[in-house]
């Protein structure tokens, strides 16, 4: 397949440099643009969060058509095992309980038939007390006004088989991915992410939140040849480093000769996954977050209070505006902040037509980028634990 005069082989052979020198401007013109809303919100007060989220949804055209009489999957960001990294209000790098409740309540009010709360965490079990570790108000969420389901998608979960989904065209890493059924058995898929840096990927908002779709049972370090429904290891050996093969159920990677470098692999897997499971609605929580990394296992991580929330219906556009709010250039290349160790996921997704990174083409509604600006600094300059 070719893109405006150059081939997928060119992109692979030239790596990230290809994105900057062989036609990014032409690709950017072809990628779709969608509006993004920004609103001020300085507190996790339940009523304030819900009102802010409601305003954001109204500003991007409403959510009625997305959720009415539909099953809505809500993917959280609960990164880091609580047994290793306890919840600490000084470092709010996980989805806040009130943002989860607000989203669920607004979906129910807009007529959702069912809401399915999703995340991939350890241990890979379905016990509700595992969700309670994150201080989620389970009772309130279960009573928002429609059916609510919870599924830990780290393995088969409640499904009988994995759903294999092929990358529609031009895959970067794998031709297809095997996911828990819940990411397919839904009508609308919503990403609830945090406004924060990432040690490898530079930033982690809507796009990077999709990395968690890959179940450790098939993509974890201890998946084995036959898969492991009780995994205990993260995806590092398979997805980040490429030193371990995924379970045999999964197709082999397309380019085994490609760099065994997390900064090359992770952004490309994410760019694949956003096309395998497109994001219909993006919610980015920048009320309070962290900078310098995605969690406390990164040396030098600090709490930060941007006091904003963002929403959009295109993940590249939403993340581009989010990066601008953080004081970053969404079209920056590897080696410049915040992409200190990895290629720019946004540009990789833009190159295959997901959305534009060109801020001039993105309508920003509500608070302006200038008024929302809260510089995050140089990025994740510390060392991963």
Residue-level pLDDT at 28: 52
376 found inside a domain? no
The residue segments making up the domain with residue 330 are 2-367
Strands annotated E in 154-236: 163-166, 176-179, 188-194, 197-198, 202-203
- For residue 332, the 8-state DSSP code is P
Alpha-carbon span 283 to 205, nearest angstrom? 9
127 found inside a domain? yes
Place of tokens 């919503």: 190
Token pair in block for residue 204? 């982690």
Place of tokens 């609605």: 281
385 found inside a domain? no
229 found inside a domain? yes
Residue-level pLDDT at 29: 56
Give the CATH number for residue 16. Answer: 3.40.50.11440
Residues shown for the chain? 385
117 found inside a domain? yes
In total, how many domains does the chain have? 1
64 found inside a domain? yes
DSSP lists the bridge partners of residue 202 as: 198
381 found inside a domain? no
Note the pTM of the prediction, 2 decimals.
Answer: 0.93
217 found inside a domain? yes
Alpha-carbon span 345 to 358, nearest angstrom? 14
Residues 6+ away with beta carbon under 8 Å from 336: 329
Alpha-carbon span 334 to 265, nearest angstrom? 13
* β-pair type (36-40, 71-75): unpaired
Asked if 77 and 212 touch (Cβ cutoff 8 Å), the reply is yes
pLDDT one digit per residue (tens) for the chain, 385 residues: 434 334 444 444 444 444 444 444 445 558 999 999 999 999 999 999 999 999 999 999 999 999 999 999 999 999 999 989 999 999 999 999 999 999 999 999 999 999 999 999 999 999 999 999 999 999 999 999 999 999 999 999 999 999 999 999 999 999 999 999 999 999 999 999 999 999 999 999 999 999 999 999 999 999 999 999 999 999 999 999 999 999 999 999 999 999 999 999 999 999 999 999 999 999 999 999 999 999 999 999 999 999 999 999 999 999 999 999 999 999 999 999 999 999 999 999 999 999 999 999 999 999 999 999 999 999 999 888 6
């Amino acid at each position: 397949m070719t893109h405006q005069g150059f081939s997928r082989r060119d992109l692979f052979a030239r790596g990230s440099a290809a994105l900057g020198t062989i036609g990014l401007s032409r690709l950017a013109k072809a990628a779709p643009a969608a509006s993004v809303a920004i609103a001020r919100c300085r507190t996790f007060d339940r009523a304030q969060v819900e009102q802010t989220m409601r305003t954001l949804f109204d500003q991007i055209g409403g959510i009625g058509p997305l959720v009415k009489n539909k099953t809505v999957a809500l993917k959280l960001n609960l990164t880091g095992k609580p047994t290793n990294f306890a919840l600490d209000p000084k470092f709010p790098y996980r989805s806040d309980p009130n943002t989860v409740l607000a989203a669920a309540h607004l979906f129910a009010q807009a007529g959702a038939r069912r809401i399915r709360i999703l995340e991939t965490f350890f241990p890979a079990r379905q016990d509700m007390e595992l969700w309670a570790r994150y201080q989620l108000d389970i009772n309130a969420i279960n009573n928002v006004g429609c059916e609510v389901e919870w599924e830990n998608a780290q393995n088969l979960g409640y499904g009988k088989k994995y759903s294999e989904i092929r990358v529609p065209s031009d895959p970067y890493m794998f031709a297809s991915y095997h996911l828990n059924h819940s990411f397919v058995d839904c009508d609308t898929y919503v990403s609830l992410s945090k406004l924060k840096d990432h040690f490898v990927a530079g930033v982690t908002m809507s796009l990077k939140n999709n990395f968690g779709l890959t179940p450790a049972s098939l993509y974890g370090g201890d998946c084995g040849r036959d898969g492991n429904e009780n995994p205990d290891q993260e995806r590092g050996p398979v997805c980040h480093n490429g030193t371990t093969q995924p379970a045999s159920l999964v197709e082999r990677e397309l380019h085994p000769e490609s760099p065994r470098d997390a900064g090359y692999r992770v952004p490309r897997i994410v760019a694949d996954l956003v096309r395998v499971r497109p994001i219909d609605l993006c919610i980015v929580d920048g009320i309070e977050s962290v900078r310098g990394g995605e969690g406390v296992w990164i040396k030098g991580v600090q709490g930060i209070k941007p006091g904003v929330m963002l929403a959009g219906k295109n993940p590249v556009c939403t993340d581009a505006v989010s990066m601008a709010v953080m004081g970053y250039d969404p079209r920056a290349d590897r080696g410049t902040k915040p992409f200190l160790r990895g290629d720019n996921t946004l540009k990789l997704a833009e190159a295959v037509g997901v959305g534009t990174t060109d801020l001039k083409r993105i309508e920003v509604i509500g608070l302006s980028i200038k008024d929302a600006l809260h510089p995050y600094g140089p990025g994740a300059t510390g060392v991963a634990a």
